Chains A and B, each alone.
Chain A
Amino acid sequence: MAEEKYNLKKEIETVRETCLRPSNHWGRSTRIWIGCLLIVISWGLYCYIHQLRYGLGVTALRNYVSWGLYISIFVFFIGISHSGTLVSAILRITKQEWRRPITRSAELLTFVSLLFGGIMPIIDLGRPDRIANLVIFGRIQSPLMWDIISIFTYLAGSTLFLYLPMIPDMALCRDRLTVCDSRFKKFRKWLYTKMSLGWKGTKEQWRLLDKSMSIMTIIIIPIAVSVHTVVSYIFAMTLRPGWNSTVFGPYFVAGALYSGSAGVVLGMAVFRKFYHLEKYITPRHFDLMGRLVLTLTIIYAYMNLNEYAIPAYMMAAGEGHLLKELFYGDFSKVFWTLQVGTVLLPIIIMAFPKGRSPLILFITCIFIVAGACVKRYIIVVPTLLHPLLPIQHVPESWSSYFPNYVELSVTAACLAGIFLVITLFAKLFPMMSVWEVEEGLVIQQDKQAVMDLRNVRELEEEKTGGREVSSGTVSIKPAVVQINKTPG
């Protein structure tokens, strides 16, 4: 018994060490990485100022394709933001033990992609200086308003969802990191103290945390679903072929979960590699996440079938024109590459256990995420290029669209912003939920103890030859570990 307890303590100490170590260490590569990100961001910022000054005319957008890369990326980022809810909330609700090491990174991905996803439409605005009009003259009848409301709600919700389980960890950081030699010592001390909200680990505090987490877990799911549904309404509630579709809500939600869960796999793999979490994020985690991504990809493929096969069978005039372009016209190469390369092939690969090994799953998920991004573009742009009335008497360049350097730079800057926030976060805060992983260890220990007990019983059975079974003969106490908190 004493030995077990000792091991557990050691284990917990290792978890704390592993999680807190990166916070102390600012390597050369980290600085170079942050430097590169800052360069990309500054260049993007310069391009955005250029765009503000001379108008959206500096982009490749014109009257027919009036929404382009910015709006596509907006939809993509909002899609990625579904990862946190999915992995964290759904796995929490279903009490999946293996979620413990990956919830933090998933929740962070939600928060960051939502933050930058929300910025994209503002970048796309012709008059960002009049953004206050949305409050002064806001019309609730506009789907854009529903978007703003649901995105803000989701942002607030996911911030809470990220922050709540961080409180005990913040207390840990406060007590530990500040005594170590680390950069920005004063700042850190102040930050951790503020963020831990005076956490002392009392019973009452744990009760409150458990309660608020279970409430948040439940309410964040409908909010997340609503977000991508109303994002799809921006398109579905117009009279345009290709957008005017009743399946768009669930189609977008499915697409969001598909790309978001793949995004979680990428996050898992990256943090596992750079923070040496191999011990905690095991191939089993990849296998289980792979199954999840596989399921969601199949659902997404099914939604694709509905979205394209039904109008393709009817081939109504407006819709038919667009579909022909997608199936064997200008966009056919991209369209079929996406359908085969990022939907069908991943399904086949992930169906095999080997396809869910860390490396192969990582590569598959890169394709899925990239595919989801291009797919948004294929939803937004071809429809705008195929209006109900012919495009005539306009400059040649207006009847085609490819994002130019301004749009690409600004988008790259947003992407770099996401990476920067994640990097800084990882440098300041533990990337695994320390207390949750600890509790996981305890539960594992408990299970092990149960197994041990059974083994002892079995041995006992063999000794008595299976004749006399009396519980009084052996006295084995369950290996209850002396930890105050209840696992949850």
Chain B
Amino acid sequence: MLEQEEENCRRSFLKTGLITGAVAIAAGVIGCNSDTKPPGSLTGKKVPLLDSAGNLIYVDEAQIPVHTNFKGITDEESRKGIPGKKFVMVIDLAKCDGCGKCTEACNKMHFLPKEKEWIQVLEMQDAPKEAPYFFPKPCFHCDDPPCTKVCPVDATFKREDGIVAIDIDRCIGCRFCMAACPYSVRVFNWTEPVKPDIIEETPSMERAFQSKKGCVEKCDFCSHMARVDELPACVTGCPMNAIYYGDENENAVTNQAGETENLSQMLEDRAAYRFMEELGTKPRVYYLPPNNRLYPKPDMNNAEENKTNSNG
């Protein structure tokens, strides 16, 4: 099963580890983790992995931290996050044609009505002479999140895996986090949400359906999917392969087509940036500038009708 070609291996990279019940960690991280393991307990069974340079390497199974998880994770575990991970998203604006399929997929995944958008596709133009572009905006899962700072009850918090999550069983609905988020990412349940016909037994932070009357909700980087090593809905839903998702520790991100890229290489080559870096929130979502686009740019005259205000 693991005797795949290198390309295939790259593609199914994210799945590989967890299918065997192990999280695949790049060589550098294993180095760190193996410090804690007693030496001489190697099994002799080798597992193929990619290192940060993209080379296929074989690592002893015993050196890979094993996480048997998914079911029966406690509230505490889901508050802590998925061990050893640092989730990151890269959005290639050059590929985004503004079709809005990411929003559709997200809404389907999280059972959201049309007016709720956890990932919005905005039409943006920074200055009159500058090129307009489509701007998919999920939650940025900032490393210095202004929203979690102000929560009076610790209902929204930063997990160790980088995800900013909301505990809808604790939220008191003061909406301070909505005022604090400079990106207007958070949405509120103004009325009783329509409940889907599903039963989820994971803690509320790691569910597909996270709507509760009088509570705040937002993009959670599909933490319930990440737990089973799957890609978020917006990534798999993007027909343009514009959204990449992965683990910063692995230094790899993958898109819908299964193209796994070297994260740091990609950020460097494409001159990636983070939105409104000057706010100091340190987002975990990177944008690749929209150069050499293959699709028509957004019609800003048309967009003007949709929007009431933009400072660009």
Within 8 Å by CB of A121, from B174, B213, B308, lies B174
Contact among A55, A139, A394 for B152, CB-based, below 8 A: A139
**Which residues of chain B come closer than 8 Å to A136, judged between CB atoms?**
153
A56 part of interface (Cβ distance < 8 Å) = yes
Q: Are B190's CB and A317's CB within 8 A? A: no
Q: Find B184's partner among A56, A321, A387 (CB 8 Å cutoff).
A: A387
Contact A137 B155 (CB under 8 A): yes
The interface-forming segment of A59-67, A260-268, A477-485 is A59-67
Count class of interface residues, chain A: 35 or more
Q: How far is the CB of B183 from chain A (nearest CB, A)?
A: 6
Q: Say whether B152 contacts A388, CB under 8 Å.
A: no
Question: Is B309 among interface residues, defined by CB-CB distance under 8 A?
Answer: yes
A127–B171 CB distance below 8 A: yes
CB of B308 within 8 A of CB of A399, answer yes
CB interface residues, A 279-338, toward B, < 8 Å: 317-318, 320-321
B73 interface residue, CB < 8 Å from A? no
B184 pairs with A127, CB closer than 8 A: no
Residues of B within 8 A of A31 (CB): none
- Contact flag A321-B311 (CB < 8 Å), given A62-B190, A239-B279: yes
Smallest beta-carbon distance A356→chain B, Å: 40
Cα distance, A387 to B123, chains bound together (Å): 15
Residues of A within 8 A of B188 (CB): 56, 63, 66, 126
Residues of B within 8 A of A128 (CB): 172
Which one of A131, A390, A393, A399 has the highest number of Cβ atoms from chain B below 10 Å of its Cβ? A390
Q: Are B214 and A55 in contact (CB under 8 A)?
A: yes
Cβ–Cβ contact B172 & A130, under 8 A:
yes
In the assembled complex, the Cα of A33 lies from the Cα of B283 at a distance in Å of: 57
CB neighbours (8 Å) of B303 from chain A are 392
In this complex, the member of A124, A385, A387, A392 whose beta carbon has the largest number of chain B beta carbons within 10 angstroms is A392
Q: Are A392 and B150 in contact (CB under 8 A)?
A: no
Judge if A142 is at the interface, Cβ distance under 8 Å. Answer: yes
Collect the chain B residues with CB atoms within 8 Å of residue A234's CB: 176, 179
Check B120 against A63 for contact (C-beta < 8 Å): no
Are the C-beta atoms of A130 and B189 separated by less than 8 Å? no
- Contact check, A393 vs B149: say whether CB atoms are below 8 A apart: no
- Establish whether residues B150 and A238, one from each chain, have CB atoms under 8 Å apart when the complex forms: yes
Q: Would you give the shortest CB distance from B164 to chain A, in whole angstroms?
A: 15
Q: Are B173 and A127 in contact (CB under 8 A)?
A: yes
Task: Tell whether A35 is near chain B: CB-to-CB under 8 Å.
Answer: no
* A237–B121 CA distance with the chains assembled, in angstroms: 28
Q: Quick check: A142 and B176 within 8 Å, CB to CB?
A: yes
Q: Which residues of A contact B179 (CB under 8 A)?
A: 66-67, 234-235, 238, 240, 243, 384
Answer yes or no: A144 CB below 8 A from chain B CBs: yes
A-B contact pairs, 27 of them (CB 8 A): A54-B191, A55-B189, A56-B190, A57-B191, A61-B190, A62-B190, A126-B174, A127-B215, A130-B153, A130-B173, A133-B172, A134-B152, A134-B172, A137-B154, A137-B170, A139-B151, A142-B151, A142-B152, A144-B174, A238-B182, A317-B312, A384-B179, A389-B310, A392-B303, A392-B310, A393-B117, A399-B309
**Partner-B contacts on A (CB < 8 A):** 54-57, 61-64, 66-67, 121, 124-128, 130-131, 133-134, 136-139, 141-145, 148, 234-235, 237-240, 243, 317-318, 320-321, 384-395, 399-400
Q: A57-B191, A133-B155, A239-B279 are in contact. List 14 more A-B contacts (CB 8 A).
A: A63-B187, A66-B178, A126-B175, A126-B214, A127-B214, A134-B153, A139-B151, A148-B152, A239-B281, A386-B311, A387-B184, A388-B184, A388-B276, A392-B310
